[in-house]
A and B are shown apart, each in its own frame.
Chain A
Amino acid sequence: MSAFLDMGGYAAFVWPAYLVTLAVLVLNIIWARKSLARALQAARRRTAAAGEDS
C-alpha cells in the first residue's frame, strides 16, 4: 500500500494532479446543481407570486 502511495517517488506530482482533477469534477457538479437550484427557486417564487395575483 505504501508503495502504491509513494508512486515510485512521484507521489508529490501524481497525487496533486489527481486531486485537482477530482476537485474540478466535483466542483462542476456542485456549480451546475447550484445554478439549477437557484433558477428553480426563483421560478417557484415567481409562479407563487403570480398565483396569488390571479
Chain B
Amino acid sequence: MRWTWFHRLASPPYLYALAARLTPWFAWPAALLILGGLYAGLVLAPPDYQQGEGFRIIYVHVPSAWMSLMVYVTMGVAAAVGLIWRMKIAHAVAASCAPIGASFTVVALVTGALYGKPMWGTWWEWDPRLTSELILLFLYLGFMGLRAGFDDTQRADRSGALLAIVGMVNVPIIHYSVIWWNSLHQAPSVMRFGKPAMPPAMLVPLLVLLLGFTLFFAAVLLVRVRAEILQRERATRWIGETLRA
C-alpha cells in the first residue's frame, strides 16, 4: 500500500492531470517570491561596504548558478529512476530538465561575466566556479545533443539517461580537479559568495530568490512534462478522453 503513490506517479494520465493541477501552486508563489526578492535585493538590501551597489548582481547570479546545479541533479536522479525502474515518465522529466538547466547555466555565465568586469577588471577570469559552470553547460549540451541524435524516443531516453548518470558521477570529480588546477596557477579568487558573515539584510533577499527560482523551476518543469507526456502517449486512448472532457 505504501508504494501506491509511486506507481500512480508512473501512470501518464494521473501525472498529466496532477501536473496541470499543481502548476499554479508553484507558479504564483514563485512569481511573488522572485518579484519580492528582486525588489528587496535592488532596493532594500544595503550596499556592500567593498563592492558598493555592484554586489547586487549576486541576487541574480547566485540563484542562476544554483538552478544550473540543482536542475542537473534533478535530471540525473530522474534519469536514474527511468533507467533502473524502466519508468517512461521519469525519462520525460529528465528530457524536460535539460533546456531549463542549460538556459540558467547561460545566465550564470553571463551574470558572472557582468560581475567580473567591475570586480576583477576583466569580463572573463578562469575562476574555478565560472570554469565549472562552463563545463556544466557543455554537459547539458552533450545530453541534449545525444538525445537529438536519435529518432527513436526509447533509445534517446535510455542513452541520454546513462550519459546523465555518468555526468553526475563526474561533476564532483571535474569540479575538484578544476579547483586544484586553479589553486596552482593563480591567487585565490577575489569573488566571495555566500560568506557566512553576510548580514541578514543582504542574506534574506538571496534566500527568498533561491526559493523562488526553485519553485519557478518546478512550475516550468510541470508544464514541459505535460507536453512531453502528450507527445509520448499520442497513440493512446486516454488522451482523446481527457481532451474531450
The answer to A–B direct touch (Cβ < 8 A) is: yes
Asked whether any CB of chain A lies closer than 8 Å to the CB of B220, the reply is: yes
Interface size, chain A (Cβ < 8 Å) = 32
Interface size, chain B (Cβ < 8 Å) = 39
| Complex CA–CA separation, A33 to B115 (angstroms) | 31
Chain B contact residues, majority secondary structure:
helix
Q: A20-B111, A28-B220, A43-B230 are in contact. Are A7 and B243 (CB under 8 A)?
A: no
Closest A residue to B111 by beta carbon equals: A17
Complex interface bits, A1-44 against B, C-beta within 8 A gives 1, otherwise 0? 00010011110011011101100110111011101101110111
Q: A8-B53, A10-B53, A44-B243 are in contact. Are A16 and B227 (CB under 8 A)?
A: no
Q: Hey, which chain B residues are within 8 Å of A14, CB to CB?
A: 53-54, 56-57, 114
Closest B residue to A19 by beta carbon equals: B60
Q: A43-B239, A44-B243 are in contact. Are A13 and B220 (CB under 8 A)?
A: no
Q: Hey, which chain B residues are within 8 Å of A35, CB to CB?
A: 223-224, 227
| Complex CA–CA separation, A47 to B107 (angstroms) | 40
Q: A42-B230, A43-B234 are in contact. Are A18 and B115 (CB under 8 A)?
A: no
Closest A residue to B118 by beta carbon equals: A13
| Complex CA–CA separation, A51 to B243 (angstroms) | 12
Binding site for B on A (CB under 8 A): 4, 7-10, 13-14, 16-18, 20-21, 24-25, 27-29, 31-33, 35-36, 38-40, 42-44, 46-47, 50-51
A-B residue pairs in contact (CB < 8 Å), sample of 6: A4-B43, A7-B53, A8-B52, A20-B107, A32-B220, A32-B227
Ranked 10 nearest A-B pairs via Cβ: A8-B53, A10-B54, A39-B230, A47-B240, A21-B60, A32-B223, A39-B227, A35-B227, A7-B53, A36-B227
